[in-house]
Amino acid sequence: MGKVFLVGAGPGDPELLTLRAARLLGEADIVLHDALVTNEILAMISPAARVIDIGKRCGHKLLTQAEINSLLICCARRAEAVIRLKGGDPCILGRAGEEIEALAEAGIAFEIVPGITSALAGAAAAGISLTDRRAAASVVFTTAHRGHGADAVEWDKLAASNSTLAIYMPGSDYRRLSEQLREAGVEPHTPCVVISGIGRAGQQMLWTDIERLAGRDPLASPALVIVGRCAGMAHRAAHEVAHEAEARAATGMQTMPAHT
């Protein structure tokens, strides 16, 4: 009977992996990974390991969650070290709870190895303090898509919390997301930033506010939206730094003596 490690792969940059995650990837017998795990991180897996892609492609899952649970149990009964490799952190919007429950019921040992979730990596890339005491005392991690009825996102409660909102999987319908937030009571001019490809070579940022978000073209997935005054403070600070740098550069050019 082996052991299953639920490992967070972070946002994509191998340098953002924990040391423990990196070591386990080099020692694993079997690795089951999601689609969002980058090739750079997959390259860190032991060449002797069996690697199984169980990710989602174009909205279609290769395996159901029940099938993934069964596969984890089967692998753990045949190998000593099995890794369930998830993008970001395994316990944030990653269905780790269902896998943990299945492993526990099967009597299989498991361990969670945390990873840097996209909200934290995205905030760091954008220079945002998610809980700047001058703007927000808390942060909420949520997803824009959680079904309907009892499973729907309760935007009104999230808006009433006055927290910074980190919205995973915003999709491509920014107009609908803008409408939902405004209907829930978020002020139209509340700052927000969309960050795409966090921690990857093609990372992009779109700074705007909730009202103007409706008319903007969507960035490529995977993406994250950070909403709140903290985003506005970071944007102003970045603008001021850039302005000062331009001013220093211009002053230096003007005072530089001519070559003789």
Q: Which residues are catalytic?
A: 34, 56
CB atoms within 10 A of CB 77: 12
Q: What angle do CA 95, 140, 69 make, to 5 degrees?
A: 5
Rounded to the nearest angstrom, the gap between the alpha carbon of residue 59 and the centroid of all alpha carbons in its chain is 17
Asked if residues 11 and 116 have their Cβ atoms less than 8 Å apart, the reply is yes
Residue 47's closest CA among 33, 35, 31? Answer: 31
What does the DSSP 8-state code read for residue 78?
Answer: T
- Virtual CA dihedral for 253, 254, 259, 260, nearest 10 degrees? 180
Residues whose CB is less than 8 angstroms from the CB of residue 247 and which lie 6 or more positions away in sequence, other chains included? none
Rounded-to-5 percentages of helix, strand, coil across the chain:
35, 20, 40
**Cα torsion through 220, 242, 191, 218, rounded to 10:** -20
**How far is Cα 6 from Cα 106, in angstroms, rounded to an integer?**
16
Closest to 234 measured CA to CA, from 259, 214, 207: 207
Distances (CA, A) of 14 to 6, 88, 91, 133, 147: 17, 12, 19, 32, 33
